[in-house]
Amino acid sequence: MPVINRHSHGEALNIITFNDNQINFNEEKLSQLLLHPQVKDREIAIVSIVGAYRKGKSFFMDYCLRFMYANFKSLNNSNLSSTSSWIGDKDEALTGFSWRSGSIRDTTGLSFWSDIFLHDENLAILLVDTQGLFDPETSTEENAKILTLSTLLSSSLILNLNNVIQEDQLQYLQYATEFASLASSNNHNNSKPFQRFLFLIRDWQNVDDFEFGMNGGAAYLDQILKSKPDQSEELKSVREHIRESFDELLCCLMPYPGKKVATSSDYDGRWSAMDEDFFNELRLLIENFLAVDKIVSKRVNGVQVTGSSFFEIIKNYIMTFST
């Protein structure tokens, strides 16, 4: 059987990288994406992922890419070819953002998929992967900057976490959203500063308390974000703040993917090697999260951005961060 290389029409572009706390911005490459003739006047949706390192972020985004290629036209691939299921052949190797790329990381920062997905006449969708957050070599300051920038850039932000939501991760998020709200400044209308947020919990173990998937996740998140009588004011205000920052807060509890996926060094990403319940939840989540009617476009201070206006806004953000 011929090898299908679905992703020959795109590559990962490291557009914003960090180096010893220095931010490097490839303005030229970002302009090629956002000022593309077919993108500059469209509304923009940016789906990005941040979080725990070596916990399947890129792996997840590559399955998202499969879904996008099967369901949307893109700049480099105008045929909606797929007649079979979007998830592809059971033994197809996983390509796209590079995943499981050894234990030594090369870059820290935000990496944009170079191909852009188009919907109708007025929406362009970009996927962004992040490297280096919360890994042992990344400083607290770098973590905070990456999370803040990702919050500013995304219309749908995924925070990928291992096992549970921890208090320090909520505090990080509070810090980032506070800083990001400041950077996006004068919000005169009453809209919340950011749009969609998904806590993606990997290797969830407490199925007796909360079931896998979005429903279990919603109940779990409710419990986490609830203010409790015996809670300190600080813990309460963190929760309040996170709730006030996003239009939509979601959570999904994912099963352990199975030994092959989690530990095998020669695993190529094929779904036939996944545990069945992981495979089912992965499909459901992606079909739900990336459904065209669920995709939200980016608003800044309550105003819908276009490719070209967002390009200018991002340049400003980067300037704020560089000083």
**Contact positions vs ligand GDP (CB under 6 A):** 53-59, 99-100, 202-203, 254, 257, 261-262, 267
- Judged by CB, which is closer to ligand GDP: 2, or 102? 102
CB 57 within 8 A of CB 65: no
Q: Report the partner that residue 202 touches, choosing among Mg ion, ligand GDP, none (CB closer than 5 to 8 A by kind).
A: ligand GDP
Q: Report the partner that residue 175 touches, choosing among ligand GDP, Mg ion, none (CB closer than 5 to 8 A by kind).
A: none
CA distances from 172 to 7, 33, 117, 134, 224 (A): 34, 30, 31, 11, 15
Query: Could you say which of 17, 48, 58, 297 contacts Mg ion (CB under 5 A)?
Result: 58
Residue 187 gets which letter from DSSP?
Answer: -
Minimum gap (Å) between residue 251 Cβ and ligand GDP: 15
For 180, list phi and psi in degrees, rounded to 5. Answer: -65, -40
Q: Report the partner that residue 40 touches, choosing among Mg ion, ligand GDP, none (CB closer than 5 to 8 A by kind).
A: none
- Judged by CB, which is closer to Mg ion: 132, or 193? 132
- Judged by CB, which is closer to ligand GDP: 55, or 299? 55
Minimum gap (Å) between residue 57 Cβ and Mg ion: 5
SS3 69: helix
C-alpha radius of gyration, the chain, whole number = 19
- Kind of pairing between the strands at 117-119 and 156-162: unpaired
Give residue for tokens 């509070």: 174
CB 237 within 8 A of CB 260: no
* Spatial CA neighbour of 283 closest among 238, 252, 310: 252
Instruction: State how far the Cα of 125 lies from the Cα of 296, in Å rounded to an integer.
Output: 9
CB 210 within 8 A of CB 217: yes
Q: Report the partner that residue 192 touches, choosing among Mg ion, ligand GDP, none (CB closer than 5 to 8 A by kind).
A: none
Residue 66 gets which letter from DSSP?
Answer: H
Give how many residues touch Mg ion by CB under 5 A: 2
Minimum gap (Å) between residue 177 Cβ and ligand GDP: 22
- Judged by CB, which is closer to ligand GDP: 139, or 322? 139
Q: What is the residue type of 249?
A: L
Q: What is the residue type of 280?
A: N
Minimum gap (Å) between residue 180 Cβ and ligand GDP: 22
- Judged by CB, which is closer to ligand GDP: 49, or 152? 49
Minimum gap (Å) between residue 130 Cβ and Mg ion: 8
Minimum gap (Å) between residue 60 Cβ and ligand GDP: 7
Residue 306 gets which letter from DSSP?
Answer: B
Q: Report the partner that residue 55 touches, choosing among Mg ion, ligand GDP, none (CB closer than 5 to 8 A by kind).
A: ligand GDP
End-to-end CA separation in angstroms for the chain: 54
Minimum gap (Å) between residue 208 Cβ and Mg ion: 31
Instruction: State how far the Cα of 300 lies from the Cα of 311, in Å rounded to an integer.
Output: 12
Q: Report the partner that residue 321 touches, choosing among ligand GDP, Mg ion, none (CB closer than 5 to 8 A by kind).
A: none
Span 63-92, contacts to Mg ion by CB under 5 A: none
- Judged by CB, which is closer to Mg ion: 14, or 82? 14
Residue window 28-57: x/- pattern of binding to Mg ion, with contact defined by CB under 5 A: -----------------------------x
CB 199 within 8 A of CB 159: yes
Q: Report the partner that residue 307 touches, choosing among ligand GDP, Mg ion, none (CB closer than 5 to 8 A by kind).
A: none
Name residues whose C-beta falls within 8 Å of residue 317's C-beta, 6 or more positions apart in sequence: 149, 152, 153, 183
CB 116 within 8 A of CB 34: no
Minimum gap (Å) between residue 105 Cβ and Mg ion: 8
Task: Report the interface residues with Mg ion, using CB under 5 A.
Answer: 57-58
